């Protein structure tokens, strides 16, 4: 037996609306107006922007904070389109109108240039009670410009300085012993090669080989660690992304074939060039494809698509792996955080730093058990995203 749905007093009144006389109907109308005014007052008191949009991006409702953030007039409700007010947002979100029920709640950090430069954290999710013929989404806008500049940059700088100091000591303390151990392992292997093979010598040779591989792995961890905290300034040149993606696919081809993973690439030859560092971008795609491979035990699909609008180039890499848990999604950029056995937890930190240096943005949408979509957004050559100066201030 299903529990009875709880009704508010207003619901009970509306249920008897056909039985109301003119006097009581007038009282009901006044009550509804009062309820609406109360909700309006509450929503306009909230500092976060609140929007309700339909599938076409038409803004059906906006509170006062949202109007201030995106430069919207109250008279624009029902006419203004969010995708036009925030160019590139629709492509970045990649809303699947054919399956909105499975669409996860998504979050983005977007740059808004009108009515003034702002950095906004945007959350979008579908309204659960909407009928299929009237799908709508609620959008929450949080202006993080001041916090981003005054707090996050300071914390990030202090964190990187402390990690760099630690890294210098770790690299020095570990580098020399590892080199010494590696040299002696090579001497042992040479001596073993001169001795007649026996079961004992074969076991010793196998053990020394394992030790050598572990030393190589430790050396790789130190290398990735130093690269993550001390990135090189990008050597910006005209770059076509298609050859870079093809090169990464070729580099990983044997591993992809061993795992039974098929990679499909849908990128037109007319994709606009961007201004970027070819080697750093290659590292970005390598890390993301590698993550997608490791998310699939055996068999699977990696779909790479790219398109562009007037200002940005978008590359989306989709896999049908195990996905990322919601709690883990907020931590994947943290150094040393990893859910993979043997992972060093620095790959996504490197990706984020390279994209930031290129004026790009990174979005990740994931559904556990379904897969993950990574969206890379690059400014075209003629539009480099301007970093907000530290002196910028947001005036309410």
pLDDT at 392: 39
Look up the CATH number of the domain holding residue 72. 3.30.450.20
Q: What is the gyration radius of the CA atoms in the chain, in angstroms? A: 28
Nearest to 90, CA basis, from 293, 305, 307: 307
pLDDT confidence band for 159 (50 / 70 / 90):
low
Q: Is the pLDDT reported for residue 95 higher than 80?
A: no
363 found inside a domain: yes
pLDDT at 395: 38
User: 311 and 374 in one domain?
Assistant: yes
What lies within 8 Å, CB to CB, of 85 at 6+ separation is 70, 71, 72, 114
pLDDT at 393: 37
User: 158 and 135 in one domain?
Assistant: no
Q: Where are the strands (E) in the chain, listed by range?
A: 49-54, 59-62, 106-112, 118-126, 136-143, 237-239, 261-266, 274-276, 300-308, 312-319, 361-367, 371-379
Q: Of 205, 229, 253, which residue sits at a domain end?
A: 229
Domain that holds residue 194: 149-229
Query: For the ranges 64-78, 93-107, 128-142, which has the lowest average pLDDT?
Result: 93-107
Task: Name 109's bridge partners.
Answer: 121
Instruction: Note the pLDDT tens digit of each residue in 295-312.
Output: 887 788 889 998 888 888
Instruction: Note the pLDDT tens digit of each residue in 333-350.
Output: 665 556 555 555 566 777
Residue 241 near residue 313, CB atoms below 8 Å:
yes
pLDDT at 22: 66
User: 352 and 244 in one domain?
Assistant: yes
CA separation for the pair 233, 353 (Å, rounded): 10
- Count of domains in the chain? 4
Q: Is the pLDDT reported for residue 171 higher than 70?
A: no
User: 52 and 19 in one domain?
Assistant: no
pLDDT confidence band for 173 (50 / 70 / 90):
confident
User: 223 and 241 in one domain?
Assistant: no
pLDDT at 291: 85
72 found inside a domain: yes
Residue 281 near residue 241, CB atoms below 8 Å:
yes
59 found inside a domain: yes
User: 243 and 328 in one domain?
Assistant: yes
User: 60 and 104 in one domain?
Assistant: yes
Instruction: Note the pLDDT tens digit of each residue in 214-268.
Output: 888 788 777 766 665 565 778 888 888 888 988 888 888 888 888 888 888 888 7
- Cα angle 311, 306, 314 (rounded to 5 degrees) comes to 35
Q: Of 229, 255, 283, which residue sits at a domain end?
A: 229
CA separation for the pair 121, 247 (Å, rounded): 34
pLDDT at 230: 63
User: 242 and 214 in one domain?
Assistant: no
pLDDT at 50: 86
User: 368 and 242 in one domain?
Assistant: yes
CA 380 to chain centre: 20
User: 183 and 76 in one domain?
Assistant: no
Average pLDDT, the chain: 76
385 found inside a domain: no
User: 208 and 324 in one domain?
Assistant: no
pLDDT at 355: 85
User: 260 and 299 in one domain?
Assistant: yes
391 found inside a domain: no
Q: Of 229, 245, 276, which residue sits at a domain end?
A: 229
CA 214 to chain centre: 32
Q: Is the pLDDT reported for residue 370 higher than 70?
A: yes
Mean pLDDT throughout 136-148? 81
CA separation for the pair 331, 324 (Å, rounded): 11
pLDDT confidence band for 104 (50 / 70 / 90):
low
Which has the higher per-residue pLDDT, 391 or 56? Answer: 56
Q: What is the pTM of this model?
A: 0.48
């Amino acid at each position: 037996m299903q529990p009875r749905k709880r009704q508010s007093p207003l619901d009970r009144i509306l249920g008897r609306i056909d039985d109301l006389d003119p006097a009581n109907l007038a009282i009901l109308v006044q009550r509804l107006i009062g309820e609406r005014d109360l909700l309006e007052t509450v929503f306009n008191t909230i500092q976060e922007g609140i929007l309700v949009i339909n599938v076409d991006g038409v803004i059906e409702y906006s509170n006062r904070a949202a109007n201030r953030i995106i430069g919207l007039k109250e008279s624009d409700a029902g006419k203004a389109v969010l995708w036009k007010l925030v160019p590139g947002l629709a492509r970045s979100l990649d809303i699947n109108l054919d399956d909105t029920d499975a669409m996860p709640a998504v979050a983005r950090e977007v740059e808004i240039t009108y009515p003034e430069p702002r950095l906004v954290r945007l959350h979008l999710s579908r309204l659960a009670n909407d009928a299929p013929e009237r799908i709508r989404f609620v959008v929450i806008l949080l202006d993080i410009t001041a916090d981003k500049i005054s707090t996050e940059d300071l914390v990030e700088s202090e964190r990187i300085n402390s990690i760099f100091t630690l890294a210098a000591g770790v690299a020095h303390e570990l580098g020399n012993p590892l080199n010494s151990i590696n040299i002696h392992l090579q001497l042992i292997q040479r001596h073993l090669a001169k001795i007649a093979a026996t079961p004992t010598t074969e076991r010793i040779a196998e053990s020394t080989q394992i030790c050598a591989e572990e030393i190589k792995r430790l050396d790789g961890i130190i290398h990735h660690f130093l690269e993550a905290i001390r990135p090189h300034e990008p050597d910006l040149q005209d770059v076509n992304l298609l050859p870079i993606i093809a090169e990464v696919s070729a580099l990983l081809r044997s591993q992809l074939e061993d795992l039974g993973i098929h990679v499909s690439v849908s990128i037109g030859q007319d994709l606009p060039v961007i201004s970027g560092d070819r080697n750093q971008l290659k590292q970005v795609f390598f890390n993301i494809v590698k993550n997608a491979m490791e998310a699939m035990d055996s068999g699977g699909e990696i779909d790479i698509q790219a398109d562009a609008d007037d200002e940005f180039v978008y590359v989306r890499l989709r896999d049908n792996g195990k996905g990322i848990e919601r709690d883990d999604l907020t931590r994947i950029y943290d150094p040393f955080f990893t859910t993979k056995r043997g992972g060093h937890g620095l790959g996504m930190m490197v990706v984020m730093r390279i994209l930031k240096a290129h004026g790009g943005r990174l979005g990740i949408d994931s559904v556990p058990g379904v897969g993950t979509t990574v969206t890379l957004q690059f400014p075209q050559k003629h539009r480099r995203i301007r970093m907000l100066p530290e002196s910028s201030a947001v005036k309410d």
